Structure 1
Amino acid sequence: MTDIDCHAEQLDEVEALQAIFPDEIELTCDDAGQVELSLLVSPDLAGELGDKPLLLRAAAPPDEAPEISGGGYPSSGSAPGVPDVKNTVSQDKPRLGRSVSGQHAYAECEVRQLPPVQLQLKLPAGYPASAPPDFRLFCSWIDVGALSSLCQSLDDHWEQAEGSAIIYTWVEALRVEVLEFILKGPGSSDRATLTLESSDSCSVEADPRAVSECGTPMQTLQDLLLYDKGKGLDIWMQQQHVCNVCFSEHPGSHFVLLGGCSHSFCKHCVKAMAQIHVTEGSIAELLCPEVDCRAEIAPSALTQVLDEQGYERWQTLKLRKALTTANLVLCPRCEENGLETPVLPDPVDEEDEAMPVARCERCGYVFCAKCLSLYHGKEPCLAPEERAQQAAMRRLGTAQSVAEKRKLKREAQKGYLVCVDVGEDMLPIDAAGHSTEDRDSVAEGDKVIAVHAGVPDKLTGRALWDAKFDNICDLPTVLMESARPISIRLVRTRADAAIERVRQRRLMEELLTLKEIARESQPCPQCKVRVHRTAGCNHMHCSQCRAHFCYRCGAQMDSEDPYAHFKTGKCPTFDDAEVRRIAAQERQPGFVDHELQRLRAEFGDQRDLFLQFQQANGMQTAHAGGRGNVAARRRMGDVPCPTCGQWNGRVGNLNHIRCGMCRNSFCGHCRRRIHGVISHHYRGENACPQHFRAPE
């Protein structure tokens, strides 16, 4: 067989291999025209072990052996940021332990995928007629002694099939023998175990074609664990999963790993939740939706669902929360210029009555660290209205207002148009072209720079009169004799006065807005963020710092028992106006206030007071009505809780209901309590429907 015939057979064999192993083969050619290729041979662990994982074990040298007592790391559970899915991802860290004698340390972990063995081939001119392929074996977890035995096995296969295509036979032989190497390790009959060894400990002569890339057994063990996690995540991304928020099924690539825990939800639900909390500023509630988890969502997950503006706002809110915890404050002047400069206030002597002073290194602003206004020494902090006025004055004097001032000057130089239509009186203009009185938008002293024919929206052609080209003496004649309508262009001669009027107007609007906010809100006693109450009791829970305080007096309350503040008699749980609003709302047919009923059941004294108020005003109580009231509730889709009997309304038309009294989940269709994963109750044969259909 000539070299040309051999080369043709090589190309035919390579084409067949590409069809059989499309993802595992890589083909190249050297300068001499010889064919070079690389094949990845992966052991079929799933086909041999089924659902059982492979146990890896590595001996730790004495200088690396940690002090271990009682077993070390947990044997299962996925790492933070990796979905916890059965048969996909193994454990987070290796288990550490010692031998019975206590002199030898070891580490072990479970995996389901191993990196492939790489077979590099160069086909000589005489292959397959007379010469075998030149090959090398690479592996990151098999020691050099075992790889040398695999090289000898490939040589034996060539001797048996010399003169024919051998590459496919080698690949299948490698796949089988690598799996045998894994299974022959020490272990129980029902547990496959692979012991990792260092290549330096090999006692047999190494084959130069065997290249072992494994380092120390401990490092190899960690590398294999990371590889297993990566492959498991790739498999998980390709599978279909149910989102436990919307109960919809999506591929794993449409899910977001929360990062702080092993849970994941579809991008649509995570995006909606993140946008709501970031927009409202309640980033403390940006937690895992799982009730038993509530871990914080990692920034890597937020970057996938928030746009650039939303993510910057989240970072700003996060920074402010951290500064509050660290006793730092933001410079108010820099903040109004679009910058965020944290400042550490100077320490204050306990005997000194002066307020804490803060000095900004960036802009040099010296301010009170308590009220963020100009430093006032031993004087008491300014009232909220005075602080708002200072803040408004700073905002109007910033670089942004300077830009607005320049814009107003440019607009003043450009001028403005005033239309004089048929039958209207001409503007009073003196001989110098200036307006002699205020009229509508025209101020006294404004100067005429041009006169155009037509209305301002339809100006065409050259101006009837232009101050740049025409004589000022011709202006009165043009104004009086030109056919109506005409448009007169004027410029402000008192631009500074106009700018000052705009500044004063904006200052007044700013002060009125801040005054209204101060009147309708209460500052949090811990982070000073103003909180506005729309309805409900006087117990407030700050969404920024999670502090509990009273909306009526502003005092901070105990987080363990916040309602103890109302039992002292200083402040009522509900204001009189709120009681009257709730009473009027409850008189509407079919209305049930679940939160109010929960508070009544928890605080008996407040509940009795409200019942007395209802009886004194001739109102119907929430428990009155008998069978007719129950029938009306059922028609509306309300369902009593099977645990505590509390009536609960549905969210939309979902059959999954969470009781407002005992906080237990139950099904609105079968009236049974739901344990475990909510979505499992609505899946499978004879399962309850997920959505409620109202009777017609």
Structure 2
Amino acid sequence: MDGCGIQSSRPWQNEERLRDDVSLDYAYRISPGLVGFDLGLGTMTTARYRPTWDLALDPLVSCKLCLGEFPLEQMTTITQCQCVFCTLCLKQYVELLIKEGLETAISCPDSACPKRGHLQENEIECMVASEIMQRYRKLQFEKEVLLDPCRTWCPSSSCQAVCQLKEADSARPQLVRCGNCTLEFCSACKASWHPGQECQENPPITAFLPGESSSFFKSDDDDAPIKRCPKCKVYIERDEGCAQMMCKNCKHAFCWYCLESLDDDFLLIHYDKGPCRNKLGHSRASVIWHRTQVIGIFAGFGLLLLVASPFLLLATPFVLCCKCKCSKGDDDPLPT
């Protein structure tokens, strides 16, 4: 207390305390493990101290999918390519691919990934539910059977067991007997076994639905709900929609009714003539709008090329001259 009864604030003590705090922060930057707080002495001595300013400066990482910024603990790094995404976006990406059955080898969602990495099975298992993981393993198994020349699927829709081939050469037709439903079928065309006969180009589809006998066949006509892809021979079921089909296995586009290829038919001219006329399943106005869009895209590219062609012609001599000068400079001997 001074003479006026006012308590002194002692500013030099505040200055010393501030200096101590700054020195502690500096020491924490150099070696965080050496600085802490001792409850008995009331001084900073052990590794429990962390300044408040350090919490605010934690680095935020940007997610390439949602473009948001998140702390490191909310991010997931793909082991194979070291690309980093927020855990929520990566989980939704993986779940979508598995539910749609689009991919068995889930690639990095970054289209510009330099290493073209893929997610490992243990990484997928850590971020999806158990039922989704079971579906992923099922898709993997189906892909393995499809690529294995020594195994094939039973064509019965009520069985779907895996059958072993006696010969590794799957191109040669051979008798396959399903061990589950005792069905005998051809390994090449998946139709009933036909000894001494060639495989049909478009064999009928065996139904074998519950309550139906094994001798019942559905013809491969226009109304058949199940047909085979004309390219990879995978069974495809059509519930509804237009007649332009795309196989999920080989990405082949074809007409559902006549199985003719539509890979190069961008304007859908196939449905303007022949037996499939007006069978596309869309209104005439929607078809005209589709064709207008396709023609507009090609016309836009053509116009862009036409406008840019004079500039390309003018720039070509300069580019060639620069290349010639660079090549001459490389051929000149170095001064000794």
TM-score (norm 1): 0.28
- Deviation per residue, 1:580-637 (Å, 9 max, x gap): 94652489xxxx86x96246544x8xxxxxxxxxxxxxxxxxx9xxxxxxxxxxxxxx
The runs of 5 or more residues in structure 1 that have no matched partner are 1-43, 49-115, 117-167, 172-237, 397-502, 605-622, 624-640, 645-696
Confirm or deny that 1:526 pairs with 2:222.
no
* Alignment match of 1:270 (pick from 90, 111, 116): 90
Matching of residues 36-435 of structure 1 within 5 Å: 239-283=59-103, 286-293=106-113, 295-332=117-154, 336=158, 341=162, 343-346=164-167, 355-359=173-177, 366-379=184-197, 387-389=205-207, 391-392=208-209, 396=210
Other-structure match for 2:247: 542
Q: Which has the bigger relative contact order, CA under 8 A and spacing at least 6?
A: 1
CA–CA separation in structure 2 for the residues paired with 1:253 and 1:529:
45
Secondary structure of 2:61's partner? strand
Q: Deviations over 1:439-476 (max 9, x none)?
A: xxxxxxxxxxxxxxxxxxxxxxxxxxxxxxxxxxxxxx
Q: How many residues align?
A: 244
Q: Is the 8 A contact 2:189 2:203 kept in 1?
A: no
In 1, the alpha carbon distance for the partners of 2:170 and 2:85 equals 52
Is residue 584 of structure 1 aligned with residue 285 of structure 2? yes
Percent of aligned pairs with the same amino acid: 15
Flag the 1:305–1:385 CA change in 2: closer, same or farther, 3 A: farther
CA distance in 1, matches of 2:259, 2:125: 37
Tell me the CA shift for residue 297 of structure 1.
3.1
2:293 to 597, 603, 624: 597
Distance 1:263 1:347 in 2: 41
CA contact under 8 A between 1:288 and 1:297: conserved in structure 2? Answer: yes
Following the alignment from structure 1 to structure 2, what is the Cα–Cα distance between the partners of residues 240 and 342?
Answer: 53
2:54 maps to: none
Give the deviation of 1:245 after TM superposition: 1.6
Q: 1:283 to 1:326 in 2, by over 3 A?
A: same
The CA distance in 1 between the partners of 2:117 and 2:241, in whole Å, is 29
Preserved contact between residue 255 and residue 261 of structure 2 (Cα < 8 Å): no
Distance (whole Å) between structure 1 residues aligned to residue 287 and residue 204 of structure 2: 42
TM-score (norm 2): 0.51
Deviation at 1:528, TM superposition (A): 0.8
Whole-Å separation in 1 of the counterparts to 2:146 and 2:197? 24
Q: Deviations over 1:343-365 (max 9, x none)?
A: 23525699xxx832235578876
Please name the residue that 2:259 is paired with: 554
Q: Which amino acid aligns with 2:122?
A: S
Q: Structure 1 residue 252: deviation in Å?
A: 3.0
Deviation at 1:47, TM superposition (A): 5.3
Matched AA of 1:252? L
Letter in 2 for 1:584: A
Q: Which letter maps to 2:195? A: G
1:84-140: CA deviation from partner (whole Å, max 9, x where unpaired): xxxxxxxxxxxxxxxxxxxxxxxxxxxxxxxx9xxxxxxxxxxxxxxxxxxxxxxxx
What's the secondary structure of 2:143's corresponding residue?
A: helix
Q: Which runs of 5+ in 2 are unaligned?
A: 1-26, 34-44, 48-57, 273-277, 305-336
CA contact (8 A) 1:283 1:543 kept: no
- Which of the pair has more CA radius of gyration? 1
Matches within 5 A, 1:655-670: none
Query: 1:302, CA displacement in angstroms?
Result: 1.9
Q: Secondary structure at the match of 2:185?
A: strand
Cα RMSD between the aligned structures?
A: 5.2
3-state SS of 2:112 partner: coil
Q: Secondary structure at the match of 1:311?
A: helix
